[in-house]
Amino acid sequence: MQAELIDIRNHLAQHAPFDELPEEMLDRVVASIEIAYYRAGSDILEFGQRNNWLLYIRSGAVEIYRRSGELYNRITEGEIFGQFGLLMNKTVRFPARAIEDCLVYRIPDQVFQYLWERDETFADFVEVEDRSRLRSALSRREKSNELMTSRVTRLISRAPVSAPCTVRLQEAARIMTEQGVSALLLMDEEGERPRLKGIITDRDLRTRAVTEALPSETPVSEIMSAGLIVTKAQSFIFEAMLTMLHNNVHHLPVMDNDEVRGVIALADIVKYESQSSLYLVGNIYHQNDIKGLKKISLDVRDSFVRMVNEDANSHMIGSAMAGIGRSFTQRLLALGEEKLGPPPVPYCFMALGSMARDEQLVVTDQDNAMILDDSFVPEEHDAYFLALAKFVSDGLDACGYTYCTGDIMATNQKWRQPLKVWKTYFTNWIQEPSGEALLNSNIFFDLDGIYGENDFAEQLKTLVAEQAQGSQRFLALLARNALNRTPPLGFFRTFVMEEDGKHNKTFNLKRRGTAPLSDLIRVHALACGSRAQNSFERLKAIAETRLIPEDGVGNLRDALEFISIVRIRHQALAIEAGREPDNNVRPEDLSPFERSHLKDAFQVVSNAQKFLKFRYTAQVSRHV
């Protein structure tokens, strides 16, 4: 092959949809190409004219218009245009004009039709628009991971083993031994149909019965676990894994409506989940001091990298990392109580920000707070809670969760207050929003009780859900605040980068990508009264209320997933290379696939911010 053709082939092979073509098909494309040059300002395609070429930009930039003359898109090197006309009677539907001097590869219609008929990936790419291409790219990726495509019922190997909840300890142990199971379901047999009442595991028998020397005739109901954590038969394996991580349980009954289909255990998921995040959480709870926890924390990054390399999605990774961080916090609180004695009044320890949203990664600090019982008397009780907060905060820092630079921690007395004070905080933030309140909303409106009296946190979630949706001024100001961080996409669909400092010629995928998305999703979620914290769960709630169009919700979901995954992979590659991970990316370090689809995702963010401004901020002036 001639040197010029080799150069053309190498360039095509770096960009979708040619990057996934079989070798022989790519060679056929290269052999058919004609090269054309267009000066800046010249028309390449005019509406209604006949066109027999698929056009590929080797260099330069092109604007695509609707028939009305409205600007539709701007595309640059490595992108194609003209395909919609080829699919519609070879008539131009979207006019195109060069806005820079352009070198264009022209691929004949005969070759285009050949590829379209014989290669499904190529056909999918050219038949859909940018945001649909993003969905297609994510769908292909998701299919590669069994955790995300297999239902939990696949793990059920036998019918559930159960007994009445009135059974005695000795009889329960006999049934479990004879049946060879590590968990026994306990049923309430009163009524027309038996109902699942609780569960007992071999671990429960050891720690709650044998260790306490309970008589063999003790009713099993005295030591069973009630208030069961369950999973639905329709759930995916990865969802069951996250449920175990979030609740630190090793057995999950699988429910089909009110019927128990079976029980899955930790060992069943580990067959699929080689990332070992579940085992890591188990090890955290076995540590007896900060030194042990610090040693275990060294495995967190290894677990993160394994999940990335096995194509876990961002929800799975973010939830797993948050579950690990939550487990460190919970163990530190338990150790702190052992050191300081029992708390003088009930309290709830809250996780805030990314941990509360189940969107935590390895580059993170700690954001937390304490809700104290209303019987709290500062002069009598605060010394204890300050010491506990300091013990936990110092321990988290030792385990890699650095101190919050904004002092959003329970060591700050302002964020260590009785429930009635917290309710006043949130009511004032919502009813009388100020600049400080809007800054706080980015952290405190993502909250989760993780230890102690978690009902305190649930009361705050209820208050927020009830009050926020009715405060148009708050929503409008929150929306305006959410527009402060914009995606790094320039006028010609080029990346806008930092121009000075150590991050020169990079863009920040958190500050300019995932953060603007979580901000605008939060506004919509609060507007529809959702109690969800995770951004993907919030999108489900938004879709149910039809607050924004269904395709808009899908676009946001795909954009959040793609930007998150690029950010995650960037951090994993840094860890594997022995560098400190961060959120700053250089475009040249991204693959052509990532660069192309990041532009699609950033365009979704930009469009969503325009809708946010239209939907809410126009109300500011009417409520000032």
pLDDT of residue 622: 47
For residue 608, the domain's CATH number is 1.20.120
pLDDT of residue 487: 92
Collect the ranges in the chain with pLDDT lower than 70.
1, 128-149, 270-276, 491-493, 500, 617-624
Instruction: Say if residues 360 and 449 touch (Cβ distance below 8 Å).
Output: no
* pLDDT (tens digit per residue) in 313-338: 898 899 889 989 999 999 999 999 99
For residue 185, the domain's CATH number is 3.10.580.10
Show which of 436, 465, 494 is a domain's final residue.
Answer: 465
pLDDT of residue 458: 94
363 within some domain? yes
For residue 400, the domain's CATH number is 3.30.460.10
Task: Specify the DSSP element, H or E, that contains 83.
Answer: helix 83-87
* Residues 173 and 246 occupy one common structural domain: yes
316 within some domain? no
* Residues 336 and 452 occupy one common structural domain: yes
| Domain carrying residue 362 | 327-465
Neighbouring-strand partners of residue 231 = 254
Closest residue by Cα to residue 58 from 30, 90, 24 = 30
Provide CB contacts within 8 A for 582, sequence distance 6+.
363, 571, 574
Amino acid of residue 62? V
307 within some domain? no
Show which of 223, 248, 270 is a domain's final residue.
Answer: 270
Neighbouring-strand partners of residue 73 = 64
* Residues 609 and 492 occupy one common structural domain: yes
183 within some domain? yes
> If 0-12 CB within 10 Å is exposed, 13-18 middle and 19+ buried, where does residue 348 land?
buried
Residue with tokens 């590669």, as numbered in its chain: 144
pLDDT of residue 624: 44
* Residues 195 and 257 occupy one common structural domain: yes
Task: Specify the DSSP element, H or E, that contains 184.
Answer: strand 183-188
235 within some domain? yes
Token pair, residue 301, equals: 């990054």
* Residues 355 and 452 occupy one common structural domain: yes
* Residues 50 and 163 occupy one common structural domain: no
Whether the ω angle into residue 488 lies within 30 degrees of 0, i.e. cis, is no
What is the tally of structural domains in the chain?
4
Token pair, residue 377, equals: 């008397």
Specify the 3-state DSSP secondary structure of 274.
Answer: coil
Show which of 431, 446, 465 is a domain's final residue.
Answer: 465
Closest residue by Cα to residue 567 from 400, 366, 317 = 317
> If 0-12 CB within 10 Å is exposed, 13-18 middle and 19+ buried, where does residue 282 land?
middle
305 within some domain? no
320 within some domain? no
Torsion of CA 469, 473, 478, 483, to 10 degrees: 120
pLDDT of residue 139: 60
* Residues 576 and 430 occupy one common structural domain: no
* Residues 445 and 482 occupy one common structural domain: no
144 within some domain? no
Token pair, residue 112, equals: 């285009």
* Residues 8 and 90 occupy one common structural domain: yes
Phi, psi angles (nearest 5°) of residue 66: -80, 170
* Residues 160 and 94 occupy one common structural domain: no
pLDDT of residue 269: 75
* Residues 173 and 241 occupy one common structural domain: yes
* Residues 157 and 45 occupy one common structural domain: no
